[in-house]
Structure 1
Amino acid sequence: MSDALQKFTDPAFDLTILVQGFPGRSLCHGGLGWSTIALLRMGDRIAVIDTGAFSARKSIYAGLARAGLAPADVTDVLLTHAHYDHSINWVLFPKARIHIGKVEMDWALPLWGDPVLPELYVQALADSPRLALIADGDTVLPGIQAVRAPGHTPGCLVFRLDGEHRRVLFSGDAAKNRAELVSRAADMTMDEAASQSSIEMIWRMWRERPDTLLIPGHDLPMLLEDGVPTYVGERRAGVTAWFGDDLDTTTLFDFSRAPHL
């Protein structure tokens, strides 16, 4: 499987997918949590959109290094919501302003023992002078607007980036994957009706500009072709396991292609 990173350009920005999200769940080992992490360069601003779980740290460091960057070069971190697989690595960026929805923090901060909220990291973020609370409709960075999209969590945000030749929608877990977008139904939602309304809103923004690239929380980027969500790029995902009698013998499980059913 290739380690090449997906890149998208516009006169207003350069976008790189540091970690590619995956539309799957673990059967018996808790949450899989393979979420999308994006790197955005706009003039003197260097932003990371969502930060992944602990397992993403090596990939984050490697992706930044390939881009000629260090974590301290990142000026802004934009979090779609507070779940561990999207938020926990905000601590890796020592000089960045950390942007997250106020509604999300008001909901997440009192919760302790929730299966997918990293409570100590949420508390540390609430106490951090680098925290920037944002609301629906706020301009987070030049050309980037926060749009509240509740359902998965009460304060989920979609980030809409409007460039000169391309719009990008970072839908986070308001629309995690292609299946949710096509079916208009959401898995792991706190409010099914709110999720359906948020998905319809995402569709409206997606249709407004034919050049719009949608980057979901747990899937490949997509474009609309004749109204149909179509993947951009090739999936990269897999696991190697030691099922033999020595460390040189491994079994590869390639998740990059769906099986023929």
Structure 2
Amino acid sequence: MPTIDILLPGFGLDTDQGYPAFCGVFLVRGPDAAGQPRNILVDAAHVGRRPFLWTALADHGLSADDIDTVVLTHAHWDHVQNIDLFPGATLVVHPDERRYAHTPHANDWATPAWTGLLLEQLPVREVGDGEEIIPGVEVLGLPGHSPGSIGLVVHTEAGRATITGDALHFAYVATTGRNPLVFWDADQAARSIGRILDVSDVIYPGHDRPFRLTADGGIDYLAPFALTVTGAGPDTPGLRFADSSARPSWVMPGIQEQRALYEKNADDSARRISRVPRVVRPAAAPRAAGPGSG
């Protein structure tokens, strides 16, 4: 049976000065249809976590060269920036996400204009709902947070585990049924949350710890919270902690224009995809994560 390991844990941390945006990065391993072992990375995080990703791979006996597939749950900046570390891998992405990344809405701050260029630096495999990546690992279509968000349903010894990306950012979203950050369609996003709950025994959210829902609808976390912060402490003047239960929901201004713009830009996106040169070079030799932010 395929397995899931957490390479980098996800954290739902926000500040009034910006978003750390630490998404979960997962390693799915299992044999393909021919019985050959496969190493599948799900999401790649942003460059602020790059040295830690190198270290996490090494801790699992792997290097970037051992990753044969990178699955993007969606193409937002905090999930895609490290894909250039894996020039020998195939990039798996939903076709709607790929096309949108080349002509994102002007208000979509999570999809910078360079996103489409980055995606095309690896060989791309477009996938849709229900497609098999390897036996026991299937794509789950989860649009709403973004146009082509997907998850992976992994049939493990512990049951059906779903890696959700930001279709379900945080565990509490499983109890509210509403996505707190929507760039495409809020109603679709809500339906995608329901779909995750319908098919999952265990949930690996985009920015939180894996969990199960209890019989009474509570959250049963399956991993401890562990995070060390340097540069500030509980007694640092001006540092305060806000009530995370009051996290507001946000829907992108102009979201009602999204579908019409997507259709209008379809030909332009196709032209851009066909013209992007592949410029990725082999990744530099990995180094262990160290102090400082270099």
| TM-score computed with the length of structure 1 as normaliser | 0.81
Q: 1:66 to 1:127 in 2, by over 3 A?
A: closer
Task: Look up the equivalent residue of 1:160 and give its one-letter code.
Answer: V
Q: 2: CA distance between counterparts of 1:85 and 1:141?
A: 26
Name the counterpart of 2:135.
Answer: 142
Matched positions, count: 231
**Displaced runs of 4 or more, over 3 A:** none
Q: How does 1:179-198 map to 2 (within 5 A)?
A: 179-190=172-183, 191-198=185-192
Name the counterpart of 1:233.
Answer: 223
2:28 pairs with one of 23, 37, 40: 40
For 2:172, what is the secondary structure of its paired residue? helix
Name the counterpart of 2:16.
Answer: 27
Query: For structure 1, which segment, 164-173 or 32-41, has the greater mean C-alpha deviation from structure 2 after superposition?
Result: 164-173
Give the structure, 1 or 2, with the largest relative contact order (CA under 8 Å, sep 6 or more): 2
Identity %: 27
Task: Look up the equivalent residue of 2:130 and give its one-letter code.
Answer: G
Name the counterpart of 2:161.
Answer: 168
1:70 pairs with one of 44, 57, 63: 63
Q: 2: CA distance between counterparts of 1:179 and 1:164?
A: 25
Q: 2: CA distance between counterparts of 1:239 and 1:14?
A: 30
Q: 2: CA distance between counterparts of 1:112 and 1:228?
A: 37
Name the counterpart of 2:109.
Answer: 115
For 1:168, what is the secondary structure of its paired residue? strand
Task: Look up the equivalent residue of 1:157 and give its one-letter code.
Answer: I
Q: 1: CA distance between counterparts of 2:57 and 2:152?
A: 21
Q: 1:185 to 1:124 in 2, by over 3 A?
A: closer
Name the counterpart of 1:82.
Answer: 75
Q: 1: CA distance between counterparts of 2:68 and 2:15?
A: 34
Q: 1: CA distance between counterparts of 2:140 and 2:186?
A: 18
Q: How large is the RMSD of aligned CA atoms in angstroms?
A: 2.3
Name the counterpart of 1:201.
Answer: 195
Q: 1: CA distance between counterparts of 2:61 and 2:39?
A: 12
2:97 pairs with one of 101, 104, 121: 104
Q: Any stretches of 5+ residues in structure 1 without a counterpart?
A: 1-11, 207-211, 244-249
Q: Which has the larger radius of gyration?
A: 2
